[in-house]
A = this chain, B = another copy of it.
């Protein structure tokens, strides 16, 4: 009987939401700011632009606690079309990000390379499962 209870408990657990200990208690999912940036880059400046973008994204992730994610991608068929998924802990973290030297350098250096920029405010469809996202890239966090 005890075994059956254990099996049921295990089954319930495996289908339940993300276990509480997997969610960073310092991250308030209600306050989180998610944004998609869509950019078109001048073809002749693409290499220089990607170099600056990589530098800026890495510095933001490394140095700023409030930057949860800056994930830049380019379209396979049209590499000058860039999409960046940006996640900040809250509005304050975003405003602090705008004042960092690495962001300011990126902004001024790439100004002439960017043909168009569209910023779209987004929300997660399922904030509860967000901690699962991308964790398979990292062996430390695999259960």
Contacts and interface: CB of A to CB of B under 8 A. Distances in A.
A37 B42 CA distance: 25
A139 B24 contact: yes
Interface residues of A, number: 56
Interface in A15-57: 15, 21-27, 34, 36, 50, 53-54, 57
A123 interface: yes
A138 B14 CA distance: 18
A129 B53 CA distance: 12
A67 B50 CA distance: 27
14 contacts: A22-B140, A23-B138, A23-B139, A36-B73, A61-B129, A68-B134, A69-B133, A72-B125, A77-B120, A82-B125, A89-B136, A135-B138, A135-B141, A141-B141
